[in-house]
């Protein structure tokens, strides 16, 4: 998507503090962290929201969780939260699926 902030970060058109780059997702620090460690894990393929997912997106969504586990291990986190915001009423601010990894 041409106007998607996260697509621009993935394409490195906008600077970001990237902490992880995998084949299917990118992880970068949230610019407004809600915890000491607040990483957004974003699929390289644009999916607007969980609300707009299709059945073929299941494997990619599982991959985001796997990547979150790898990032947490690299950061040495022993406990953390994983969180999706779904739709505006669910707190989603950017129209690109993303998984929040949060830890104190």
Average pLDDT over residues 8-14: 95
Quick: pLDDT tens for 41-87: 999 999 999 999 999 999 999 999 999 999 999 999 999 999 999 99
Per-domain boundaries in the chain? 5-103
Of the candidates 45, 17, 49, 21, the one whose C-alpha atom is nearest the C-alpha of residue 33 is: 17
Residue 36 CB coordination number (10 Å): 10
Is 46 a residue of the active site? no
Q: What is the pLDDT of residue 17?
A: 97
Q: 37, 96, 98, 100: which is the annotated catalytic residue? A: 98
Q: Tell me which residue has tokens 């104190």.
A: 104
pLDDT band at 2 (very low <50, low <70, confident <90, very high): confident
Q: What is the pTM of this model?
A: 0.93
Percentage of the chain modeled with pLDDT above 90: 96
Homologous superfamily of domain range 5-103: HIT-like (3.30.428.10)
């Amino acid at each position: 998507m041409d106007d998607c902030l996260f697509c621009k970060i993935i394409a490195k058109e906008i600077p970001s503090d990237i902490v992880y780059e995998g084949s299917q997702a990118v992880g970068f620090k949230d610019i407004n962290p809600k915890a000491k460690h607040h990483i957004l894990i974003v699929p390289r393929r644009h999916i607007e929201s969980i609300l707009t997912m299709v059945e073929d997106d299941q494997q990619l969504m599982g991959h985001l969780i796997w990547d979150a586990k790898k990032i947490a291990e690299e950061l040495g986190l022993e406990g953390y939260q994983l969180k999706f915001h779904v739709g505006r009423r669910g707190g989603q601010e950017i129209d690109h699926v993303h998984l929040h990894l949060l830890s104190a």
